[in-house]
Amino acid sequence: MNTTTEALNPFSLMMEPERVLQTMTQSQQLRSLRRHKLRPLDKPLIPYTSAALASRAAYDAMIDAQDLDAPDDVLLN
């Protein structure tokens, strides 16, 4: 197997991290990539109003208050 084929073989690269770094530094395609620093979103896109938060809390409280042991309210197949 020639050197070019070995350099492009991902399985041989996984076994030899030094060759990965060497191949990365020699790659014209990797050097020509534009670099972007991406950050995760820190805040939700739509801010929650106090009314929306109160509505969500009331719904959660209603769900938590339900008696799940009563089989009369649940239809099972």
* Tokens matching residue 13: 């690269």
How high is the pLDDT of residue 7?
A: 57
- Residue 70 is assigned to a structural domain of this protein: no
In a domain, 24, yes or no: yes
Domain membership of residue 1 (yes or no) is: yes
Assess if residue 52 is contained within a domain.
no
Which pLDDT score, from 0 to 100, does residue 59 have?
A: 94
E-only strand ranges, 30-71:
none
Does any domain span residue 75? Answer: no
Domain span at residue 11? 1-33
Beta strands in 1-77 (DSSP E): none
What total of structural domains would you count in the chain?
1
DSSP 69: T
Please give the pLDDT value at position 51.
Answer: 92
pTM for the whole structure: 0.32
Q: Is 28 contained in some domain?
A: yes
Q: 21 by DSSP, 3-state: which?
A: helix
> 1-57: per-residue pLDDT in tens?
455 555 567 777 778 888 878 878 888 888 788 777 777 766 666 778 899 899 999
- Which residue's entry shows tokens 């106090």? 50
